[in-house]
């Protein structure tokens, strides 16, 4: 069995991926309810790994529940919580259980979460994690060069934040991730379209879009409060004042609709934007609105490959 | 006493690739005590580098290289001697290397690995500068330590949380990777950063948790006495 996401991208379809955070507990029913809205609407669903450093059900376990429900997971792994031994054994484990996509991340710093006293591991960084998964897959070897008995064949993803500083270096860091082995990229949530256009132009100019599939990350704004929170309190987010103004200008009870309209406009532009191979929709705790967004964005039905 | 040992000759030569005129700096403090950067070791290294085709345009000894005000003053006196050098090769602990890197626009190369600070934190009191990792990376980071100063100890930064020059963890923490990108850009050495760095061997210094020194204060490496 191969990655469906990989096949869709290789066939030249415009990919559409979703995201879901595992429950803060072992509530399988709650997880199943959330992901039921995503089935058939997206090509794969990212399962976050203790996102924002808050403890949740492990991303590999939640990914397996998705598989059981007939949904392709994109298993996320952060370097914050594991050393190279745990990283490699978890990779073997998820592959053995049928997981085929993996997103390699450094992880938010532990001080942001609900266990700020924790010791961050960071034995490897995201760049080295990407190279490790590639080595395990392509060379069939562990990081110490020992042979692997049945290597894991994973479709390797990485993240990119075009809105972090220093801006000019970002595109080079993306290039390094691609050189290290990333097959696809999912970007940080995009709100500042001017800056993203500039970033994509730089990426296309050095040919990065030809070496890797770049999926543009989006998150619909549910409220003015959410926009203000993202603008002020979330590291690496760039929410322009004009968007906050636009949401504020919406009629009473219509702010969420304005937020959805904004992402629909974004998706339309991404479909035409050079170098963008798809969209990654992170509808945080808004999974039930994904079918409507997918429908109105004109990305249904999802291709069968 | 800060425990350091000289980097292997191959690594020193690799770091001096494409550079001809080198100025050496040694330390009359801990590095002399460790026999990794005293005058005798500086002169020995000078000979070895000359045998490998390098031109050593001069050398100096500081007492000690971690002493920021002292180094600042002394660098001023010898500025005209240092200026023609392609780079400075420094034999001392990671703190001293960063002291020189912060006080000159010249490219600096670490000639030593710092295995242990032995409880002391040298003379740079402003912030933590060295984490005794035992495999100094200051060569490709422009003399700014990402192990000690990046909240995630990244070898390929800056991460997505770097904003306006500060770390995502706190606006009181400068993003050292932003500083590294700036410094290497100014030196025209940004391509250094685009190279992939292998996963670090955390077992060489004190970070891994096990003391790497014998009671006599002799550095050991990989379980063997140096």
- The per-residue pLDDT for A234 is 81
Instruction: Classify residue A300: in a domain, yes or no.
Output: no
Nearest CB to B161: which of A123, A128, A164?
Answer: A164
- In tens digits, what is the pLDDT along chain A, a chain of 305 residues? 799 999 999 999 999 999 999 999 999 999 999 999 999 999 999 999 999 999 999 999 999 999 999 999 999 999 999 999 999 999 999 999 999 999 999 999 999 999 999 999 999 999 999 999 999 999 999 999 999 999 999 999 999 999 999 999 999 999 999 999 999 999 999 999 999 999 999 999 999 999 999 999 999 999 999 999 999 888 789 999 999 999 999 998 999 999 999 999 999 999 999 999 999 999 989 999 999 999 999 999 999 99
Nearest-CA neighbor of B64 among B138, B155, B2, B128? B2
User: B164: which chain A residues are within 8 Å (Cβ-Cβ)?
Assistant: 165
> Any idea what the CATH number is for the domain that residue A94 is in?
3.20.20.220
Per-domain residue ranges for chain B? 3-206
In angstroms, the CA A244 to CA A212 distance is 33
In angstroms, the CA A270 to CA A267 distance is 5
In angstroms, the CA B2 to CA B65 distance is 12
- Report yes or no: A72 and A43 within 8 Å, Cβ to Cβ: yes
User: B196: which chain A residues are within 8 Å (Cβ-Cβ)?
Assistant: 127, 131, 176, 179-180
Chain A contacts in chain B segment 135-154 (CB below 8 A): 151-154
Quick check: B168 and A109 CB within 8 A? yes
DSSP secondary structure string for all residues of chain B: --EEEEPPHHHHHHHTTT--EEEEEEESSHHHHTTSSSHHHHHHHHHHHHHTT-EEEEEEEES-TT-HHHHHHHHHHTHHHHTT-SEEEEES-HHHHHHHHHH-SSEEEE-EEEEE-TT--TT--SS------SS--TTTTTT--HHHHSTT--SS---TT-BTTB-SS-TTSB-HHHHHHHHHHHTT-GGGGGSPPPPP-TTSSSTTSS--B-TT--BEETTEE-
Nearest CB to B181: which of A127, A169, A180?
Answer: A169
- The per-residue pLDDT for B224 is 44
Nearest CB to B168: which of A79, A159, A235?
Answer: A235
Instruction: Classify residue A46: in a domain, yes or no.
Output: yes
Quick check: B155 and A166 CB within 8 A? no
φ, ψ (nearest 5 deg) of residue A198: -65, -40
Nearest CB to A123: which of B164, B181, B202?
Answer: B202
Nearest CB to B181: which of A80, A166, A236?
Answer: A166
Nearest CB to B155: which of A84, A125, A165?
Answer: A125
B165 exposed, middle or buried (CB, 10 Å; 0-12, 13-18, 19+)? Answer: middle
Instruction: Classify residue A304: in a domain, yes or no.
Output: no
Quick check: B161 and A108 CB within 8 A? yes
Structural domains in chain A (count): 1
Nearest CB to A106: which of B159, B178, B199?
Answer: B159
- In tens digits, what is the pLDDT along chain B, a chain of 226 residues? 788 899 999 999 999 999 999 999 999 998 998 899 999 999 999 999 999 999 999 999 999 898 889 999 999 999 999 999 999 999 999 999 999 999 999 999 999 998 877 656 555 555 557 888 889 999 999 999 999 899 999 999 999 999 999 999 999 999 999 999 999 999 999 998 999 999 998 888 766 655 554 444 545 444 444 3
- The per-residue pLDDT for B223 is 42
Quick check: B194 and A176 CB within 8 A? yes
- Report yes or no: A191 and A238 within 8 Å, Cβ to Cβ: yes
Range of the domain at A291: 4-295
In angstroms, the CA B198 to CA B189 distance is 19
Quick check: B156 and A173 CB within 8 A? yes
- The per-residue pLDDT for B3 is 84
In the 8-state DSSP scheme, what is residue A61?
Answer: H
User: A166: which chain B residues are within 8 Å (Cβ-Cβ)?
Assistant: 158, 162, 178, 181-182
Tell me the two tokens of residue B153: 């100890």
Q: Does B168 touch chain A (CB under 8 A)?
A: yes
φ, ψ (nearest 5 deg) of residue A130: -60, -50
- Report yes or no: B98 and B169 within 8 Å, Cβ to Cβ: no
Record: fold of B3-206: Rossmann fold (3.40.50)
Instruction: Classify residue A305: in a domain, yes or no.
Output: no
Q: Does B209 touch chain A (CB under 8 A)?
A: no
Count of pairs with CB atoms under 8 A, one residue in A, one in B:
92
Nearest CB to A106: which of B152, B163, B169?
Answer: B152
- Bond from prior residue into A168 cis (ω within 30 degrees of 0): no
Q: Does A128 touch chain B (CB under 8 A)?
A: yes
DSSP secondary structure string for all residues of A105-128: E----GGGSS-TTSPP--SS-HHH
Rounded to the nearest angstrom, the minimum Cα separation between A245 and chain B is 23
Furthest CA-CA distance within chain B: 49
Scanning every residue of chain A, which has its alpha carbon at the shortest distance from the alpha carbon of B190? A169
Scanning every residue of chain B, which has its alpha carbon at the shortest distance from the alpha carbon of A121? B152
Instruction: Classify residue A193: in a domain, yes or no.
Output: yes
Rounded to the nearest angstrom, the minimum Cα separation between B170 and chain A is 10
User: A231: which chain B residues are within 8 Å (Cβ-Cβ)?
Assistant: none
User: B174: which chain A residues are within 8 Å (Cβ-Cβ)?
Assistant: none
Rounded to the nearest angstrom, the minimum Cα separation between B45 and chain A is 33
Quick check: B163 and A123 CB within 8 A? no
Instruction: Classify residue A301: in a domain, yes or no.
Output: no
Quick check: B161 and A166 CB within 8 A? no
Nearest-CA neighbor of A278 among A15, A5, A12? A15
């Amino acid at each position: 069995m191969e990655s469906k996401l990989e096949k869709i991208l290789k066939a030249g379809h415009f990919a559409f991926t979703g995201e879901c955070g595992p429950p803060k507990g072992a509530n399988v029913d709650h997880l199943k309810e959330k992901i039921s809205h995503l089935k058939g609407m997206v090509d794969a669903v990212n399962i976050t790994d203790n996102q924002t450093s808050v403890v949740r059900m492990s991303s590999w376990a939640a990914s397996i529940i998705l598989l059981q429900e007939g949904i392709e997971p994109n298993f996320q792994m952060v370097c914050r919580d594991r050393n190279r031994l745990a990283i490699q054994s978890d990779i073997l484990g998820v592959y053995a259980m049928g997981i085929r996509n993996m997103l390699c991340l450094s992880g938010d710093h532990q001080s942001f979460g609900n266990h700020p006293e924790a010791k961050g591991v960071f034995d490897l960084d995201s760049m080295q994690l990407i190279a490790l998964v590639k080595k395990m897959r392509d060379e069939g070897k562990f990081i110490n060069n020992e042979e692997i008995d049945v290597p894991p064949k994973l479709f390797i993803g990485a993240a990119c934040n075009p809105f972090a500083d220093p801006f000019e270096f970002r595109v080079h860091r993306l290039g390094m991730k691609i050189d290290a082995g990333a097959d696809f990229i999912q970007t940080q949530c995009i709100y500042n379209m001017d800056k993203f256009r500039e970033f994509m132009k730089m990426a296309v100019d050095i040919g990065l879009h030809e070496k890797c599939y770049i999926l543009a990350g989006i998150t619909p704004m549910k409220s003015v409060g959410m926009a203000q929170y993202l603008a002020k309190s979330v590291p690496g987010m760039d929410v322009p004042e004009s968007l906050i103004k636009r949401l504020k200008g919406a009629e009473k009870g219509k702010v969420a609709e304005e937020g959805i309209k904004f992402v629909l406009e974004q998706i339309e532009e991404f479909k035409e934007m050079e170098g963008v191979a798809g969209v990654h929709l992170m509808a945080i705790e808004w999974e039930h609105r994904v079918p409507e967004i997918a429908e109105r964005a004109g990305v249904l039905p999802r291709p069968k490959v | 006493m800060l425990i350091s040992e000289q980097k292997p000759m191959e690594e020193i030569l690799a770091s001096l690739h494409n550079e001809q005129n080198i100025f050496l700096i040694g330390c009359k403090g801990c590095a002399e005590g460790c026999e990794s950067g005293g005058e005798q070791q500086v002169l020995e290294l000078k000979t070895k580098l000359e045998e490998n085709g390098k031109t050593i345009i001069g050398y100096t000894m500081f007492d000690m290289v971690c002493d920021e005000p002292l180094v600042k003053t002394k660098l001023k006196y010898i500025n005209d001697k240092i200026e023609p050098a392609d780079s400075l090769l420094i034999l001392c602990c990671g703190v001293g290397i960063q002291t020189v890197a912060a006080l000159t626009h010249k490219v600096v190369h670490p000639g030593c690995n710092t295995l242990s600070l032995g409880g002391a934190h040298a003379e740079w009191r402003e912030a933590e500068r060295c984490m005794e990792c035992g495999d100094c990376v200051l060569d490709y980071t422009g003399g700014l330590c990402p192990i000690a100063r990046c909240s995630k100890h990244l070898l390929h930064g800056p991460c997505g949380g770097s904003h306006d020059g500060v770390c995502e963890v706190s606006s009181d923490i400068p993003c050292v990777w932003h500083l590294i990108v700036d410094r290497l850009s100014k030196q025209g050495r940004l391509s250094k950063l685009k190279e992939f760095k292998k996963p670090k061997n955390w077992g060489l210094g004190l970070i891994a948790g096990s003391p790497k020194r014998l009671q006599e204060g002799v550095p050991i490496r990989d379980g063997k006495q140096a």
